[in-house]
Amino acid sequence: MKLACPTLLTLILVANLSHSAQAQIAVRGDRVYTLAGPVITDGMVIIRDGKIAAVGSAAELVAPEGFLLLRAAVVTPGLVDAHSTVGLSGSFNTDHDRDQLERSKALQPSLRAVDAYNPQETLVSWLRSFGVTTVHTGHAPGELISGQTIIVKTVGTTCEEALMVSDAMVVSTLGQSARKRGKKSPGTRGKMMSLLRAELIKAREYAKNREKEDVSKHPARDLGLEALTAVLAREKPLLITAHRSQDIANALRLAEEFKFKLILDGAAEAYLLIDLLKAAEVPIIVHPTMARATGERENLTFENAALLRQAGLLVALQSGYESYVPKTRVVLFEAALAAAYGLSFEEALASITLDAARIIGVADRVGSLEVGKDGDLALYDGDPFEYTSHCIGVVIEGTVVSQEAR
């Protein structure tokens, strides 16, 4: 999509706003992608008290007097990064900003991302400047169970200010990256599955014993087993990173045995198991489109997201985790390449907005431009998937949080 005359962001009234000072905002775009219906040509979004109050044609909606007026060529919902480690992993790759993975034990479901997230990490504001307003982040893949995740807005000076969901998912990894060397456990796939099954059975027994009427017979509190109890009760999903088809099949088998909510992560070879995934109705947070095709991802394809979407599966894209600087990718670019390899423009945009929000469980607040949802918008001076375009404005809950052309 090429726009004949990209429009620069226009700020009328006060332009310098902090997150703590919400404004009443009207946003006008040559094209407004609501993700809740057809694209609106010359559209208007009105935000009042941090929430979307109206969406429609600029011919029908008039910016109320005194509102801050923003204008751009393209307006989209704020982007949603379905899986990241940003805020736990930092930009310098040094000891002080590497909290994403604890290597001392294979099974650590008690580790909480809320205790490690740094909203002032420079990578958070960097992602925000491209239009990313919501991030599902937490402990990185690499251990059999590496910890828990949170969902945050890309604002705030404390975790509490940014927080949407404090205990979103428990994170697990199946495959080579979770394998220990030498005589350490787990050293094989069989051992990984054995350890996971044993821990889930232990959590099931723990929950049963905690329900006994005689309090004196309750087992001592175990934070790790409590986290897995919530998984078994389907209160939170188990997010399993698996790339090889055999590891994906193992994840499906485990979910079938214990009846927990499974969300598949990475899934480089998911296109080989489409029928199984459809039967299980498993949502998939696909690896970044441009992830390096090495190791367990050696059989990845740029068309993975498109193939899965065409099969009717719910798919989102992610920034993922890089073990080297700068530790994160930008979902805007990953979706752009996915659009070049089979996704339509709208499907690619949905993979980093509404579909991502659906998978991580926050579609009631973000992911589309609908009345009552959070006033989170990204503004661009052209087609957001064109490398010549820029993100020229970001609004989170009715506050302008970025004006830098990125």
Q: Domain holding 259: CATH number?
A: 3.20.20.140
3-state per-residue secondary structure call for the chain:
CCCCCCCCCCCECCCCCCCCCCCCEEEEEEEECCCCCCCEEEEEEEEECCEEEEEEECCCCCCCCCCEEEEEEEEEECEEEEEECECCECCCCCHHHECCCCCCCCECCCCCHHHCCCCCCHHHHHHHCCCEEEEEEECCCCCCEEEEEEEEECCCCCHHHHEEECCCCEEEECCHHHCCCCCCCCCCHHHHHHHHHHHHHHHHHHHHHHCCCCHHHCCCCCHHHHHHHHHHCCCCCEEEEECCHHHHHHHHHHHHHHCCCEEEEECCCHHHHHHHHHHHCCCEEECCCCCCCCHHHCCCCCCHHHHHHHCCCCEEECCECCCCCCCCCCHHHHHHHHHHCCCCHHHHHHCCCHHHHHHHCCCCCCCCCCCCCECCEEEECCCCCCCCCCEEEEEECCEEEECCCC
CATH of the domain at 43: 2.30.40.10
Query: How many percent of the chain have pLDDT more than 70?
Result: 95
207 part of a folded domain? yes
Query: Same structural domain for residues 194 and 51?
Result: no
pLDDT tier, 13 (very low <50, low <70, confident <90, very high otherwise): very low
Pair of tokens at residue 377: 């918008």
Residue 103 has a pLDDT of 93
pLDDT tier, 12 (very low <50, low <70, confident <90, very high otherwise): very low
Query: Same structural domain for residues 267 and 382?
Result: no
Residue 22 has a pLDDT of 61
Query: Same structural domain for residues 121 and 67?
Result: no
Residue 92 has a pLDDT of 86
Query: Same structural domain for residues 29 and 51?
Result: yes
Pair of tokens at residue 95: 């000891």
* Triad 319, 320, 324: Cα angle to 5°: 105
Query: Same structural domain for residues 183 and 243?
Result: yes
Average pLDDT of the residues in 82-93: 93
Residue 97 has a pLDDT of 87
Q: How far apart are CA 205 and CA 171, in angstroms?
A: 21
User: How many independent structural domains does the chain possess?
Assistant: 2
Read off the pTM.
0.94
* Triad 323, 324, 330: Cα angle to 5°: 90
Residue 14 has a pLDDT of 33
20 part of a folded domain? no
Mean pLDDT is lowest, of 7-11, 37-41, 42-46, for 7-11
Average pLDDT of the residues in 344-348: 98
pLDDT tier, 259 (very low <50, low <70, confident <90, very high otherwise): very high
pLDDT digits (tens, 9 = 90+) for 132-154: 999 999 999 999 999 999 999 99
19 part of a folded domain? no
Pair of tokens at residue 55: 């969406």
Query: Same structural domain for residues 61 and 93?
Result: no
* Triad 124, 126, 131: Cα angle to 5°: 95
pLDDT digits (tens, 9 = 90+) for 160-192: 999 999 999 999 999 999 999 888 999 999 999
Count the neighbouring beta carbons within 10 Å of the beta carbon of residue 107: 17
Query: Same structural domain for residues 131 and 260?
Result: yes
Amino acid at 379: L
Amino acid at 406: R
Average pLDDT of the residues in 265-269: 98
Average pLDDT of the residues in 297-304: 98
Q: Region of 131 please: left (phi>0), alpha (psi -120 to 50) or beta.
A: left
16 part of a folded domain? no
Residue span of the structural domain in which 375 resides: 25-77+369-402
Average pLDDT of the residues in 8-16: 39
Identify which has the larger pLDDT, 98 or 374: 374
Pair of tokens at residue 23: 């404004």
Query: Same structural domain for residues 191 and 225?
Result: yes
Q: How far apart are CA 85 and CA 142, in angstroms?
A: 12
Residue 1 has a pLDDT of 43
Radius of gyration of the chain (CA): 22
Q: How far apart are CA 50 and CA 338, in angstroms?
A: 32
In the predicted structure, residue 6 carries a pLDDT above the cut 50:
no
CA dihedral 288, 290, 294, 295 (to 10 degrees): 0
pLDDT digits (tens, 9 = 90+) for 110-135: 999 999 999 999 999 999 999 999 99
Distances (CA, A) of 21 to 12, 15, 55, 139, 232: 16, 12, 23, 32, 41
Query: Same structural domain for residues 208 and 69?
Result: no
- Name the average pLDDT for the chain: 93
Q: How far apart are CA 404 and CA 406, in angstroms?
A: 6
Residue 20 has a pLDDT of 38
